[in-house]
Amino acid sequence: MEGLLRSLEDIHHDGYESRIAQTMSEHGLDAQHMPAWKYSRAIALPDNRLVRALTATTSGAAGADATVGALAEVAQAARPATVLEALGVPRREIGGAAALEFPIVDPFTIGGWQGENVAGPKLNPTIKSAMASPRMAIAHVEFSRNLRLQANRGEAEQDILQMLRDAAGATVERGFLQGTGSQNQPAGLMTVQGRGSRTFAGATPTRTELVNMVTDFTAQEGRIDRAAWLMTSAMAVALMNTEAPATSGRYLLEVDANGTPRVLGIRVGVSNHALAGRIMLFQPENCRIVFWGPAFALADKYSLDTSGGTRLVVYNTCDVVATLPLQIIIGGQ
């Protein structure tokens, strides 16, 4: 990790070769395993696919664990997991730049029973698919060039990785939740066409209003045991402070013995990048997150030249899709 700052600032110079790539070469890895390639203005960062490949390829090699661990830190910072993945949304990391289709299974027409000498059931499912298309998410962090002059730059690099993790995570998560589907934004899960909706009478829903959302969800063959709520911290606090029924000493949002927040027994995810004043009920396994290729980093030494700063820009090509949008129920005023 000690070479991260120098690597990012030196990529503008001809003849640049990644410090990480040099380390990989020392372990006998060929070009297809390199986490970074020489570009005139940008560097490809390691991704989780590369980390998995290196873990298998370099197992037992001297110093390999430390090298792979360092790469994993960068991969997780440039492409951090979102609240959606924490709730169980599958994530795919693939090469190339082609759109990716996911099959949609009609939950109401999946099969039937047949007896001896009896005609089989006639099924007429509607064949559909959901399309994920490459979309570019851009995040940037800014830091002083004085960090490069410090005797111990390792600590500074850890701070920069944390800044990068926060910026990249916030950018991607906001798009995945409330993207408009226009101007190259993804169609966020809280705004996707075909979603269900319920209107609350007030800013904080009542228990009955939340039960109505669950009713709508199950009417679309949603499974309560696999469902999840998603809301902002402000909404979660409001539900924690709402007794149901009144004076019962029980609250709409409570934490179970394992430390998991739940509403009506259904687990809760919290993100300040969700739509304010809205609550989403959905089945995470019926959504998909896709990343194409590695994340790319560009160190801009010139935009902040007069202030002595460096701007680090990270690009992620990604998208989110809902394979069964009718099972996404949004509640709000």
pLDDT tens digits for the chain (333 residues)?
445 555 554 444 433 344 444 444 444 444 443 333 333 456 777 777 777 776 776 666 655 565 667 777 888 888 999 999 999 999 999 988 899 999 887 777 667 788 888 877 777 766 788 999 999 999 988 888 777 666 566 667 778 888 889 999 999 999 999 999 999 999 999 999 999 999 999 999 999 999 999 999 999 999 999 999 999 999 999 999 999 888 888 999 999 999 999 999 999 999 999 999 999 999 999 999 999 988 888 877 767 777 778 788 889 999 999 999 999 999 999
Helical packing angle, 48-57 and 64-78, nearest 10°: 170
Q: Could you tell me which of 23, 26, 32 has the C-alpha nearest to residue 4?
A: 23
**Contact (CB, 8 A) for 88 and 228:** yes
- The torsion of the CA quartet 44, 45, 48, 51, rounded to 10 degrees, works out to 100
- 101 inside domain: no
Task: Indicate the pTM of the whole model.
Answer: 0.80
Number of domains in the chain: 2
Report how many helices (DSSP H) and strands (DSSP E) the chain contains, helices first.
8, 14
Question: Quick one: 145 and 11 in the same domain?
Answer: yes
**Contact (CB, 8 A) for 95 and 293:** yes
- Domain of residue 271, CATH code: 3.30.2320.10
Which tokens go with 101? 């289709």
- 112 inside domain: no
Which tokens go with 214? 């669950």
Question: What is the pLDDT at residue 265?
Answer: 96
Task: Please name the residues in contact with 222: beta carbons below 8 A apart, sequence gap of 6 or more.
Answer: 281, 282, 283, 327
The runs of H, that is alpha helices, within the chain are 4-10, 19-26, 48-57, 64-78, 83-87, 153-178, 207-219, 233-240
- 220 inside domain: yes
DSSP 192-243: -TT-EEEE-SSSS--HHHHHHHHHHHHHTT--GGG-EEEE-HHHHHHHHT-B
Question: Quick one: 205 and 77 in the same domain?
Answer: no
Question: What is the pLDDT at residue 38?
Answer: 38
Question: Quick one: 29 and 13 in the same domain?
Answer: yes
Question: What is the pLDDT at residue 4?
Answer: 54
Question: Quick one: 269 and 160 in the same domain?
Answer: no
Please report, for residues 41, 144, 212, 251, 307, the alpha-carbon distance to residue 301 in angstroms, rounded to integers and kept in the order given: 11, 10, 54, 52, 10
Question: Quick one: 234 and 265 in the same domain?
Answer: yes
- 124 inside domain: no
Question: Quick one: 303 and 266 in the same domain?
Answer: no
- 273 inside domain: yes
Question: Quick one: 223 and 253 in the same domain?
Answer: yes
- 243 inside domain: yes
Question: Quick one: 261 and 167 in the same domain?
Answer: no
- 90 inside domain: no
Question: What is the pLDDT at residue 62?
Answer: 56
Range of the domain at 80: 4-84+132-180+294-313
Question: Quick one: 144 and 277 in the same domain?
Answer: no
Question: Quick one: 50 and 153 in the same domain?
Answer: yes
Question: Quick one: 240 and 328 in the same domain?
Answer: yes
- 302 inside domain: yes
SS3 for 311? Answer: strand
Phi, psi of 263 (to 5 degrees): -125, 125
Question: Quick one: 284 and 309 in the same domain?
Answer: no
